[in-house]
Amino acid sequence: MNGIVDFQVPGSALCCRFHGRMDGVTSQQVDNEVFERVAAHKGDTVFDLSGASYVSSAFLRLCVRAARAITGKKIEIVGLNPSMKEVFDMTGLGRIFNLSLRGGEALSELDIEGHLKIVKGPGDFPTAKIDNAFGSATVSLHGAHVMEYCPKGQEPVLWMSQKSYFAPGKSIRGGIPVCWPWFGPCADDPKKPSHGFVRFRDWEFRRSEVTPEGGTRLVLGMASNDQTMELWPHRFDVELEVVVGHSLEVSLHVKNLDDKSFTFTGALHSYFAVGDIAKTTVTGLSGRRCHDKLTDKFSTWDGPVKFASETDMVFLDTEDVCVITDPVKRRRISVAKRGSRSSVVWNPWVDKSIRMPDFGDDEFHGMVCVETCNAEDDIVTVAPGAKHVLTTLISSETIVPG
Ligand code: TA6
C-alpha cells in the first residue's frame, strides 16, 4: 500500500497519515491533495509517518510546501524511524518541523523479558541494554555501536572514552566502531570521512531473539539511500548481528543489492580496557607481514606486541586469534575472527591522545585497540545478490597465578 495518505481530524488537529514508500512518484501523487487539505485546515497539523517505510527528497519538498501553507504554526511530524529523522536533521528541516521518533511501543517490540530492553541511551539515542545469564552489553542505534560488554562476574572488557561524543554526525570513541565501506582514509577522496560513513549514522533495530544456548541475539540494519549513494555509489544492505552468549560475537553482514560487483574494506574497530598499556602484550601475530603505519615500513613480525610509544600496525595474511594479556587486571582477552585476513593493533600514546578532542590526554594508559579487519590488500569483492560476513568473537578469562 505504497504512497497512500489518509486524513483525520481528531479534535482540532488535522492528521495526515502516510503509508509505505513516499518516493519521488508517490509523493508527487499526493502532494496537491495534502497541500490543499493543510491550507484549508489552517490549524494544528500532524504528519504521521509510523506507517511509512521510506521518505525521499520529493517527500521533503511536499512537507516544506505544506509548511508554507500555514503561517505561525509548525507541522508536527511523528512516527519517524531513526533513518528518516536523520534525513530531516541533515537537511536542517528539523528546524521548521517538530520531529519525534517512532513511539517507544514500536521499538519495545524488540524487548525480551530477562534479556533485552530498548531504552534512551547516551546522546538520547535509542539503545539496546542486553543482560542475560552470560553477561551484559549495550548497543547504540547510532552507528550500530556496541558500547559496553561485561561477562558475568567479570570487569567490563570494552573501553569507552570519558570524552566521547554522543551526537548526530559524530562517531563514538570506544566500544566497537563499525568502519565501513572503507578502512582508514578514503582512497579515492581523502575529504570523505575516515573509516567510512556508517559509524556516523543512525541504523535501525531489526530483530531480536533468544539463542538456543540461552544467549541474546540482536540485529540492526541500514540500507543504502540517496545520501549514502552520494558518498559511495553502490546499493547495499548491511546488518550488524550482536550475540551475547559464552562470548561476545559481533558480525557485519554486507549484502550487495546492486547489479554489479562492488569492493570494500572495513573493520570492527574494538577498544579493550587494560590495567596498564605498558605492561600489556598482544600475541598471535608472530610470523605475519606487518605494515607499520607510522614509518610506512613492512616487516615480518616476531614475538608479542609490546607498547612503549604510539603504535599503529596492520598485520596481513592472518586469520589467527589475537590474545591480549593483562597482568594488572589478571586476565587474557581473546579476539577470534571469521571473514578477515588482516588485524590492526593501535594505541595513540601521548601526542596523538592530546590531538584527539574526544579522547582524554591520559586515557591511552588504559586501552588498546585490537581490530578485526578487511584492511589494505585484504579487499573484499561481493557479487550482485551475494554477501560477506566479518565476525569478531571476544572472550575473556582470568589469569590464575602459578
Ligand atoms: O585503526 C587504527 C586507526 O586507523 C589509527 O590510524 C587511528 O586513526 C584510529 O584508527 C582512530 O581513527 P578515528 O578516525 O576513529 O580517529
Categorize the per-residue pLDDT at 22 as very low, low, confident or very high, splitting at 50, 70 and 90.
Answer: confident
So which residues are the catalytic ones?
A: 269, 371
Mutation test residue for ligand 1: of 197, 311, 312, the one with most atoms within 8 Å of CB: 312
**Whether residue 194 has its Cβ less than 6 Å from ligand 1:** yes
Percent of the chain whose predicted confidence (pLDDT) is above 70: 94
Domain boundaries, the chain: 5-102, 109-398
Atom of ligand 1 nearest to the CA of 267: 1
Least confident of 84-88, 161-165, 376-380: 84-88
User: What is the identity of the amino acid at 343?
Assistant: S
Atom 10, ligand 1: which residue's CA is nearest?
184
Letter string b/e over residues 1-22, b meaning 16 or more CB atoms within 10 A of that residue's CB: eebebeeeeeeeebbbbbbebb
**Whether residue 346 has its Cβ less than 6 Å from ligand 1:** yes
Tell me, what DSSP letter sits at residue 36?
Answer: H
Sheet strands (E) in 141-210: 145-151, 178-179, 204-210
**Whether residue 19 has its Cβ less than 6 Å from ligand 1:** no
Atom 4, ligand 1: which residue's CA is nearest?
184
Q: In terms of pLDDT, which residue wins out, 75 or 157?
A: 157
184 CA distance to ligand 1 centroid (A)? 7
186 CA distance to ligand 1 centroid (A)? 13
109-398: what CATH class? mainly beta
Atom 8, ligand 1: which residue's CA is nearest?
184
Q: Are 371 and 269 in contact (CB under 8 A)?
A: yes
**Whether residue 241 has its Cβ less than 6 Å from ligand 1:** no
**Whether residue 195 has its Cβ less than 6 Å from ligand 1:** yes
195 CA distance to ligand 1 centroid (A)? 8
Q: What is the CA radius of gyration of the chain?
A: 23
DSSP string covering 261-325: -EEE-EEE--EEE-S-GGG-EEES-TT-EEEETTTTEEEE--S-B--SS-EEEEEES--PPEEEE
User: What number of other Cβ atoms are within 10 A of residue 49's Cβ?
Assistant: 24
pLDDT given at position 80:
80
348 CA distance to ligand 1 centroid (A)? 9
> 5-102: which CATH topology?
Transcription Regulator spoIIAA (3.30.750)
Mutation test residue for ligand 1: of 195, 292, 354, the one with most atoms within 8 Å of CB: 195
194 CA distance to ligand 1 centroid (A)? 8
Collapsed DSSP state (helix, strand, coil) of residue 27: helix
User: What is the H or E stretch that residue 68 is in?
Assistant: helix 57-69
| Per-residue CA distances from 263 to 214, 220, 381 (Å) | 36, 22, 4
Judging by DSSP bridges, how do beta strands 145-151 and 135-140 pair with one another?
antiparallel
Separation between Cα atoms, residue 79 and residue 88, nearest integer Å:
13
Separation between Cα atoms, residue 129 and residue 127, nearest integer Å:
6
Q: How far apart are the first and last CA of the chain?
A: 68
pLDDT given at position 5:
75
155 CA distance to ligand 1 centroid (A)? 25
Q: Are 325 and 399 in contact (CB under 8 A)?
A: yes
pLDDT given at position 107:
56
Please give the mean pLDDT across all residues of the chain: 91
**Whether residue 82 has its Cβ less than 6 Å from ligand 1:** no
Atom of ligand 1 nearest to the CA of 183: 4
The three cell numbers of residue 235 are: 546499493
**Whether residue 294 has its Cβ less than 6 Å from ligand 1:** no
Q: Is the pLDDT assigned to residue 72 strictly greater than 80? A: no
The three cell numbers of residue 291 are: 605494515
Q: Are 16 and 34 in contact (CB under 8 A)?
A: yes
**Whether residue 86 has its Cβ less than 6 Å from ligand 1:** no
Torsions phi, psi of 59, nearest 5? -70, -35
**Whether residue 201 has its Cβ less than 6 Å from ligand 1:** no
Q: Is the pLDDT assigned to residue 349 strictly greater than 90? A: yes
Identical topology for domains 5-102 and 109-398: no
Categorize the per-residue pLDDT at 151 as very low, low, confident or very high, splitting at 50, 70 and 90.
Answer: very high
pTM of the model: 0.80
Peptide bond into 181 cis (omega under 30): yes
With 0-12 CB in 10 A as exposed, 13-18 as middle and 19+ as buried, what is 87? buried
For range 97-118, the mean pLDDT: 75
385 CA distance to ligand 1 centroid (A)? 31
Give every CB contact of residue 141 below 8 A, 6+ residues apart in sequence: 82, 125, 126, 127, 128, 202, 203, 204, 205, 220
pLDDT given at position 155:
97
Angle made by CA atoms 158, 160, 165, in degrees to the nearest 5: 145
User: What number of other Cβ atoms are within 10 A of residue 197's Cβ?
Assistant: 21
Q: What is the pLDDT of residues 292-305, one digit of tens each?
A: 999 999 999 999 99
Atom 2, ligand 1: which residue's CA is nearest?
346
**Whether residue 202 has its Cβ less than 6 Å from ligand 1:** no
pLDDT given at position 114:
93
Give every CB contact of residue 32 below 8 A, 6+ residues apart in sequence: none
pLDDT given at position 101:
65
